[in-house]
Amino acid sequence: MTQPNLETVKDYLLDLQDRLCDSLARADGKATFREDSWQREAGGGGRSRVIENGALFEKGGVNFSHVHGSQLPPSATAARPELAGRGFHAVGVSWVLHPENPHVPTSHGNVRFFIAEAEGDAPVWWFGGGFDLTPFYPRWQDARHWHQVASDLCTPFGDDVYARYKDWCDDYFMLKHRNETRGVGGLFFDDLNEWGFERCHAFQRAVGDAFLDAYLPIVERRRHDAWGERERQFQLYRRGRYVEFNLVWDRGTLFGLQSGGRTESILMSMPPLARWEYDYRPEPGSAEAALDDFLRPRDWLGETPPSQETA
């Protein structure tokens, strides 16, 4: 098994951050990313890049971080208690995009790498990451394209990889307190080390490199769709679900806060505006009501969509 190389991963992630920001700024056409570099008192730091009030993105961010310390935080050892007390390096890029147009889905992704070390023992390392899509209006064409890109990037790594990480994504992005999914899923993987370092890193690169191919065609297809106050209010209501998941269930948020990361960067994922409404019920037969059935785990590549939902 090839020995893990932290610097190789870090070089890739810094380049990925640059490429994502360049492409997303071009897609927006108006706003650009501003950068804040920061240092973590206990070790490490990062560079946060945020775009706001653009022609496309109401808010978005693409963050790089490399933090290290003498002891892994509880969120990182919950599933692997044998690693408690080890020193660690955690390096990753995470991104989230909140378009203004309610017909353009919100999207999130991240790719990360951990090494846990203890004197006298071999390092324990693993990769994680993925990407997911959160539409506010049901569009089969968009969800199918999203999952086709995800499936295609997984194919060189094994026939079962897409299905396995697609199911994991559906399970992970579940708001358990509401028994509903956050969006239409995508890919989610963690604790990946079984293929050896080089192949695992190649998979991380495949996920990071495929995001723009998955997302930008959807953006271009929907960005000029007409919307008004009704659609805007529904978008803000559904953004509330996004906030609930990130604050209650997301392990990345917990890791960042527990490890003493930069709070402004960790909470960059939050939308600029959201709302909550008591016991909201959409109008029966409306596009808003159709979202409830649309947002459930399904075979996006094999299932035949209802004829009225092919657009």
What domains does the chain contain, in order, with CATH numbers? 6-294 (3.40.1500.10)
- Asked if 66 is an active-site residue, the reply is no
161 and 240 in contact (C-beta within 8 Å)?
no
Hey, what are 98's tokens? 């909140």
Please write the tens of the pLDDT for every residue from 46-64.
999 999 999 999 999 999 9
pLDDT band at 166 (very low <50, low <70, confident <90, very high): very high
pLDDT band at 77 (very low <50, low <70, confident <90, very high): low
- Above 80 in pLDDT, residue 174? yes
177 labelled as ligand-binding? Answer: yes
> Which residue would you say has higher pLDDT here, 254 or 170?
170
Supply the mean pLDDT for the chain.
91
In this predicted structure, what is the pLDDT of residue 310? 47
Q: 108, 145, 201, 224: which one is catalytic?
A: 108
In this predicted structure, what is the pLDDT of residue 75? 65
261 labelled as ligand-binding? Answer: yes
296 labelled as ligand-binding? Answer: no
- Above 70 in pLDDT, residue 311? no
Residue position matching structure tokens 């098994």: 1
Hey, what are 291's tokens? 């979202």
- Per-position b or e across 4-17, b if 16+ CB within 10 A of its CB: bebeebbebbeebb
115 in helix, strand or coil? strand
- Above 80 in pLDDT, residue 306? no
260 labelled as ligand-binding? Answer: yes
